[in-house]
């Protein structure tokens, strides 16, 4: 018998012309505080590149998300330690492709109304 835990967050990517943005929705009836997404390190696209990930995406935290509220997370993309302005291609790697595995995880943490830290993992990407 499998017991499924409720999933407090749903997500979607918003296509805003030159930008691609991540939106989380609070699917609970509680205010969630100090919402953070851990940095995502993307796999190197070139198979000849060995070593640490060249690309990573760092999301800004959000102080609170009210019940049923949506929040867009701003982010910074770094390639080889340098901030890049043209990050649409990198963020699009977090969008799912039907039938493809999801190699990345949105690791989300927040505090509930009682001040306890909670976590949710959402598989994403292609």
Domains annotated on the chain, with CATH = 9-124 (2.60.40)
Look-up of token digits 């017991």: 3
The band of 53, judged by pLDDT with boundaries at 50, 70 and 90, is confident
**28 or 126: which leads in pLDDT:** 28
pLDDT (0 to 100) of residue 3: 63
* pLDDT category of residue 4 using cuts at 50, 70 and 90: low
Q: Which of 116, 54, 123 is nearest to 94 (CA)?
A: 123
């Amino acid at each position: 018998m499998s017991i499924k835990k409720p999933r407090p967050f749903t997500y979607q990517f918003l296509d805003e012309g030159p930008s691609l943005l991540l939106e989380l929705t609070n699917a609970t009836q509680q205010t969630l505080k100090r919402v953070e997404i851990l940095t995502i390190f993307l796999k190197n696209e070139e198979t000849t590149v060995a070593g640490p990930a060249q690309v990573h995406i760092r999301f800004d935290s959000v102080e609170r998300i009210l019940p049923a509220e949506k929040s867009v997370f701003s982010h910074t993309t770094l390639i080889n330690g340098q901030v890049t302005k043209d990050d649409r291609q990198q963020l699009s790697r977090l969008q799912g492709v039907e039938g493809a595995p999801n190699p990345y995880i949105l690791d989300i943490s927040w505090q509930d109304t009682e001040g306890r830290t909670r976590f949710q993992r959402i598989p994403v990407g292609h």
